[in-house]
């Protein structure tokens, strides 16, 4: 028997929200539908869903603001943004607000379902991984904490997953296209720019150990040398 997974969907367009809700509920999801950001936050507090699907442009409270508030309480719940906005700065803002994926309208229901399942599977993997040693650092993947001596750095959900895959492929080239599709859902230009930003952030967080380096292998991807 398939397990029912609870999802919070925040979408202010009634017809679209209902279509998404009904489609997901045929795939073993129980969907709590909110029509604005304030209602979505209340439902989140009352139901504690396993994943959030948030429209960016909503009345009363937009999706980015809502995600930031929820991230203060839960740093691991997967968040997917739905939006018609596709400029590079919008995509970057979505991820820096705490999003794990960014789906541009219009989209197919099959694509949304694949992305939801991918994030849920990643979250389950994260909960089963122990502490990893990276040079002089220790990396607590489940808690998203990178430690150097007695100093702890809190990583974002996406920083944590990107570092995990770099470590998993240590001293080997991590294929740029494959990791973009796995973590961002698409290897397009905007997602590529976003990934470059996250690589730069990880380099700064690992700067205390000179033996650690994230190398850009032009045309292929990145390599964590340790």
Q: HEC states along the chain? A: CCCCEEEEEECCCHHHHHHHHHHHHCCCEEEEEECCHHHHHHHHHHHCCCEEEEECCCCCCCHHHHHHHHHCCCCCCCEEEEECCCCHHHHHHHHHCCCCEEEECCCCHHHHHHHHHHHHHHHHHHCCCCEEEECCEEEECCCCEEEECCEEEECCHHHHHHHHHHHHCCCCEEEHHHHHHHHCCCCCHHHHHHHHHHHHHHHHHCCCCCCCEEEEECCCEEEEEC
Per-residue pLDDT reduced to its tens digit, 138-193? 998 878 899 998 899 999 878 888 998 899 888 999 888 888 887 877 788 888 89
Q: What's the confidence (pLDDT) of residue 1?
A: 47
Most confident of 24-38, 66-80, 144-158: 24-38
Give percent of the chain with pLDDT exceeding 90: 47
Q: What's the confidence (pLDDT) of residue 89?
A: 67
pLDDT at 22 over 90: yes
Q: What's the confidence (pLDDT) of residue 87?
A: 61
> Whole-model pTM?
0.59
Per-residue pLDDT reduced to its tens digit, 116-126? 998 888 776 66
């Amino acid at each position: 028997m398939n397990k029912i997974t609870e999802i919070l969907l925040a979408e202010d367009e009634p017809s679209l929200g209902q279509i998404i809700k009904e489609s997901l509920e045929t795939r073993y999801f129980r969907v709590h539908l909110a029509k604005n950001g304030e209602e979505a936050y209340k439902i989140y507090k009352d139901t504690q869903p396993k994943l959030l699907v948030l429209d960016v442009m909503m009345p009363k409270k937009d999706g980015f603001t809502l995600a930031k508030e929820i991230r203060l309480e839960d740093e691991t719940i997967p968040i997917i943004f739905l939006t018609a906005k596709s400029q590079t700065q919008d995509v970057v803002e979505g991820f820096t607000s705490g999003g794990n994926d960014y789906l541009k309208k219009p989209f197919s229901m099959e694509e949304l379902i694949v992305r939801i399942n991918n994030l849920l599977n990643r979250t389950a993997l994260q909960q089963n991984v122990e502490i990893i040693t990276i040079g002089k650092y220790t990396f607590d993947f489940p808690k998203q904490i990178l430690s150097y001596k007695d100093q702890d750095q809190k990583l974002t959900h996406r920083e944590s997953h990107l570092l995990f895959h770099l470590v998993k492929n240590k001293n080997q080239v991590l294929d740029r296209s494959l990791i973009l599709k796995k973590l961002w859902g698409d290897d397009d230009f905007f997602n590529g720019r976003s990934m470059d930003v996250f690589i730069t952030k990880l380099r700064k967080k690992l700067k205390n150990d000179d033996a650690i380096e994230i190398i850009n292998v032009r045309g292929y991807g990145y390599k964590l040398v340790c």
